[in-house]
Structure 1
């Protein structure tokens, strides 16, 4: 039977989870139709998803239509989780974009439209909630066809109206997964879960004991994956396809894989020739985590970062990087509900970086401090780590310790931010070998260790960075605004007052589009003010563009 990997996307509250539930119910996969309001839907399995009525993690469910088996992927609708949506899109054959007949096209709908167009993903449009008071399907249909000329379907996920037409379109208008089972294995991991992690996990030790219990979801693009296959991420110990335990999974399938101990979201499995890693704009917010058991919280956050690699961590102070405050609330709730760890977050701050502005050197020799090591470093604009001493002048472990300590040290520059675009070179080194006494024994206290080099390197690097000098650079976002043309005179001066720069303006009719740049720190203020400036009709899409000096 043919396969189709189908995603459902929408602005939050447009009804995509209800539509997922309806499709599963009508196909006979569910005995009872679940409800988002009641927290009884199949794909919102997390307690927080049920309580808040939003999708946080992409979920997979399968059902059968005439001639085709559909793997249905329900994706988050909130902008804070756009990276989760992008990961899901990378494994799809087609998509359904859900738009509410009441609210119409919303800000995040435009983001999804642009993403679908960029990826060239075959898409059906479904106008939902036609049964609700205030529904205006004809007007919304006209808006959609103006933006993207496609066949547009209407109905209600709650009542089932229009679902037969949608399922017919799924089987006749969307392309099925290509069959490439004879090719080398090529698969992409888009979701990771952990088995057996719940509220009983109360300590750092307990968190560590669950370290091997990863369950990876991967779309197989080509080839065949077998139980007992050895991959770079580990050995496959179990496979599921379409809720069935299997010995192998072929191209087109979504495979649920056990046994990959080092796997992370975004990993390619098998032949990765020609595959470019997925790019996601970096988070621009950071919040300090306040907790009693910092070790247990750090261990739990490390596991959450495996499920979402865009959660960045720092140990000192313990902090996480974020896309928005809703994501922060979700992380706190997940720590409480799945790990039994209660934390508080500081108010998020904008993440800046540092760039080296000059050249600085510093050297500390054996005898000038408590460390039995000599380290000299030069810092300058550029990238990478270099060596200007003889490669055999000290044990390889000491060179490794210096290089690793340099990489760790660049995570925090003189102003407290990560240092980018820095070239660090080892220009002097020395160590103390074990000294033999007359009676033939060794005095281990008089020999250099890798620890000496790690600790001294951090100090020398900090001094060299201070001498070279760094400048703080803040994130700048690229903006795409859509607004009524007659509100441009009100919006432009406000944008300029916030430090923005207009790049392009296009006024084809009653609505205008505007491209601009704006410091990330001012984006939320623009979002707050835009509705009042545009009669509630202004839409802004902001994406990270670059770092710029203050």
Structure 2
């Protein structure tokens, strides 16, 4: 049986130390490393050793009670949370480490929501219970209040036998079992199967406790996790897998890490993804930085393969068709500053390798201003990127101050018209552009008749709308939250050639925006703040001054809890201020809450200084032809000149 388990937590909760203990107890490693000694098995990168934090999701392998485990140790720092989310999608079960000395911290709630989204069965390990002042029941109550009330203590079962308390806990959640219990009493095997089913369905969650550093409670926790988890993978059937991550080995070879979900794959098999077909040239099973080569990988395994040149994290392979969607996306971008003696092509080549490994970077070459930009979660990530470039590629870079990633949309429906007809070219496109639900992206609809425009050309319009992100008029930021409908169009049997419909489509989109009321959007946080009564007044004042909104505060015990939404721009550095005036006693949770209308659009528009008429990639002017010569028609006159009106 193959099982993939992930260890997730807020930074400094003890994930890596816990993982070291699991690997040691299962004889996967001979020596237990310590983060503070810079000798852990999974934090093998120099950056991780120096900083004492996990940056990359690395994996170990071990066997226990006949099951083959892949253990993924994930980053806990919020700046590297996209790496953690990519790992979550391939887990069969997750272990959330909570520091009993600190309780449920901000990032723990973000992790919890992601596990819920991906429906990953979850166990808790309450770490550092040996610390002075830790009151275990208080930590359990905090989990019940912040995460789930459906939790039970693993100490209530030994060798499969359950206490009366646990039996009642299970029976209360299964009417059929309760009736059976009343009639026939406790059946150990039946109750165990019921508990395993409830855990798999995320109806209940188990917790253990101890100390990873002092090796208290670890092996007992593993035994019970092994007993309460099972996986069922179909080895028969066509090969299906999902890409988990991309890495480049020391020789620069691209390794694509896969979770095999069905069937199997052999070396030299050809597999399909995203319309491509490529041959698997090698299969590797990694344990830390080392690997062994395999001839075949079967359903349930996580392996790395070579030979796939373009597959990216989240991509489906083989029979799997659904691409994974990720919630944690950067809200900042920064300019890469490098020595001009290094050719920009070399800089881009190196950053594109990092982009493949971390697609949230979204490395962009801005031709207009001749700059390389990257998208990031925070300043710690920029510091790590500096060191990665130095260590891996042997040159120094720095970064400009991070700037907020804005987006744009429209408020009302408009029609956009584009015509492209220089000599021996022809294409005309009519689009209806409507505002869509917030954070829905761009969708495409088609009501064009084949008598007006061939199906092939209709598909071209759709392709061009989705082949890239498009610029808004206010700041040149990415357009979003639009429903775009192809109304009609026209081509020419002789004169329409490659690229004509791209030109007409982009001009139609831009012409529609010129007529619309454009809206600037900014990223926002959904926040949850827990503080003592003496600090709530300061917190509410800070939220209001930050242009945020909140629901009425709620008193829970000695603390007050307030939730709401606030712009990233005004709150991105608040955690430092918050920790200072609460003396580290409060809890602040910030989750990316999508985009909403910008609180200070005029100020942002002026600061960015985008000139819509000087964008080299977009123009709203149409081109018509008369007397064998093309001539421009500005957007405000283009509609009257269209051939199909």
Q: TM-score, normalised by structure 2?
A: 0.70
Q: Distance in 1 between matches of 2:219 and 2:468?
A: 59
- Equivalent residue for 2:631? none
| CA contact 2:416–2:433 (8 Å) conserved in 1 | no
Other structure's SS at 2:229 match: coil
- Equivalent residue for 2:45? 46
- Equivalent residue for 1:289? 336
Deviation of the 1:385 alpha carbon = 8.2
- Equivalent residue for 2:241? 187
Report matched runs for 1:81-230 at 5 Å.
Answer: 81-117=80-116, 119-130=118-129, 134=132, 136=134, 138=136, 141-143=139-141, 146-147=144-145, 148=148, 149-151=151-153, 152-172=207-227, 174-197=228-251, 213-230=253-270
Other structure's SS at 2:224 match: helix
Structure 1 position 321 matched with structure 2 position 339: no
Deviation of the 1:320 alpha carbon = 1.5
Deviation of the 1:318 alpha carbon = 2.1
- Equivalent residue for 2:401? 347
Other structure's SS at 1:269 match: strand
Report matched runs for 1:419-430 at 5 Å.
Answer: 419-420=479-480, 421=482, 423=484
Closer, same or farther in 2 for the Cα pair 1:226/1:520, shift >3 Å? same
Closer, same or farther in 2 for the Cα pair 1:68/1:295, shift >3 Å? same
- Equivalent residue for 1:62? 61
- Equivalent residue for 2:478? 418
Closer, same or farther in 2 for the Cα pair 1:10/1:407, shift >3 Å? closer
Q: TM-score, normalised by structure 1?
A: 0.81
| CA contact 1:101–1:140 (8 Å) conserved in 2 | no
Closer, same or farther in 2 for the Cα pair 1:409/1:361, shift >3 Å? farther
Structure 1 position 280 matched with structure 2 position 327: yes
| CA contact 2:235–2:262 (8 Å) conserved in 1 | yes
Q: Distance in 2 between matches of 1:137 and 1:64?
A: 34
- Equivalent residue for 2:361? 311
| CA contact 2:529–2:587 (8 Å) conserved in 1 | yes
| CA contact 1:377–1:424 (8 Å) conserved in 2 | no
Q: Which residue of the other structure, out of 459, 466, 481, is the alignment partner of 2:514?
A: 466
Other structure's SS at 2:221 match: helix
| CA contact 1:503–1:517 (8 Å) conserved in 2 | no
Deviation of the 1:302 alpha carbon = 2.2
- Equivalent residue for 2:621? none
Q: Distance in 2 between matches of 1:296 and 1:399?
A: 39
| CA contact 1:297–1:341 (8 Å) conserved in 2 | no
Deviation of the 1:448 alpha carbon = 8.8
Report matched runs for 1:464-543 at 5 Å.
Answer: 465-468=513-516, 470-485=518-533, 487-503=535-551, 505-531=553-579, 534=582, 536-543=584-591
Q: Distance in 1 between matches of 2:361 and 2:66?
A: 41
Other structure's SS at 2:79 match: helix
Other structure's SS at 1:31 match: coil
Deviation of the 1:408 alpha carbon = 6.0
- Equivalent residue for 2:198? none
Per-residue CA deviation, residues 404-455 of structure 1 (Å, 9 max, x unaligned), is 666567532322111222638697777897xxxxxxxxxxxxx997478767
- Equivalent residue for 2:636? none
Which shifted more, 80-89 or 528-537? 528-537
Deviation of the 1:74 alpha carbon = 0.5
Which shifted more, 512-521 or 347-356? 512-521
Closer, same or farther in 2 for the Cα pair 1:393/1:334, shift >3 Å? same
- Equivalent residue for 1:9? 8
Deviation of the 1:73 alpha carbon = 0.8
Other structure's SS at 2:572 match: helix
| CA contact 1:361–1:464 (8 Å) conserved in 2 | yes
Other structure's SS at 2:37 match: coil
Other structure's SS at 2:152 match: coil
Per-residue CA deviation, residues 32-62 of structure 1 (Å, 9 max, x unaligned), is 3323233322212322122212111111111
Deviation of the 1:344 alpha carbon = 1.9
Q: Distance in 1 between matches of 2:451 and 2:38?
A: 62
Deviation of the 1:144 alpha carbon = 5.0
Deviation of the 1:194 alpha carbon = 1.4
**Size of the alignment, in residue pairs?**
514
| CA contact 2:448–2:488 (8 Å) conserved in 1 | yes
Deviation of the 1:333 alpha carbon = 2.3
Deviation of the 1:401 alpha carbon = 8.2
Deviation of the 1:264 alpha carbon = 0.8
- Equivalent residue for 2:350? 300
- Equivalent residue for 2:617? none
CA-based RMSD = 3.6
| CA contact 2:549–2:566 (8 Å) conserved in 1 | yes
Per-residue CA deviation, residues 155-206 of structure 1 (Å, 9 max, x unaligned), is 333333333323323333x302224212443322212111335xxxxxxxxx
Q: Distance in 1 between matches of 2:210 and 2:567?
A: 41
Closer, same or farther in 2 for the Cα pair 1:184/1:404, shift >3 Å? closer
Closer, same or farther in 2 for the Cα pair 1:360/1:84, shift >3 Å? same
| CA contact 2:38–2:49 (8 Å) conserved in 1 | yes
Report matched runs for 1:244-283 at 5 Å.
Answer: 244-272=292-320, 275=322, 277-283=324-330
